[in-house]
Amino acid sequence: MSQQTEIIKAEPASVVNINRTPMELINLCVERGQGLDQLSKLMELHQDFERYEAEKAFFKAMAGFQADPPEVFKNKSVAFGKTKYEHATLDHVVDEIRAKMKSHGLTFIWDLDDLDNGTIRCTCVIRHELGHATRVAMSAPPAKSRQIKPRQSP
């Protein structure tokens, strides 16, 4: 009978697995007693990696949201004189969009700023749960509308 011998070749300790995450590399540096310079560079790499992963997750979530957008139905009737129409109220639209976005890990907020020239800037910030965000802003002068009187009970 012949005996088979299995030979296992060990890799040198200096070989680095390229599939490691930046955090694994940081831990390896700490174990090996690397200097702060090396750790600092790896922390920057880790932060870049996290930002990139958050950005990819954001775009994937937005694609999912856009592939299956919410249906917004008209929930308010308006009639005055010969004019009659129906529309979706802003709060209804916001509720429908917010619920659908939440299922994709997305949220949004509105930032309002009074600018020096008397205009108002409204910025919508859409953020993913991993931290990536995008924003779009619009500016306009404030509305000069008439004051609306509260309805009186019949």
Give the residues across from 79 on adjacent strands: 84
pLDDT at 10: 47
**pLDDT confidence band for 153 (50 / 70 / 90):** low
pLDDT at 3: 59
Q: Is the pLDDT confidence value at 8 over 80?
A: no
CB-CB contact of 150 with 132 (8 Å)? no
Q: Is the pLDDT confidence value at 20 over 80?
A: no
Distance of CA 35 to the CA centre of its chain: 35
Q: What is the 3-state secondary structure (H, E, C) of 25-62?
A: HHHHHHHCCCCHHHHHHHHHHHHHHHHHHHHHHHHHHH
SS3 content of the chain, % helix, strand, coil (to 5): 35, 25, 40
pLDDT at 41: 82
Residue indicated by tokens 């619920």: 99
Mean pLDDT confidence for 68-89: 94
Q: Per the structure block, which two tokens stand in for 26?
A: 């940081």
| CB-based contacts of 142, cutoff 8 Å, min separation 6 | 118, 119, 120
Give the residues across from 78 on adjacent strands: 85
**pLDDT confidence band for 40 (50 / 70 / 90):** confident
Top pLDDT among 61 and 25 is at 61
Mean pLDDT confidence for 12-38: 70
pLDDT above 70 covers a percentage of the chain that reads 81
pLDDT at 82: 94
Mean pLDDT confidence for 81-108: 95
Encoded amino acid at 44, one letter: E
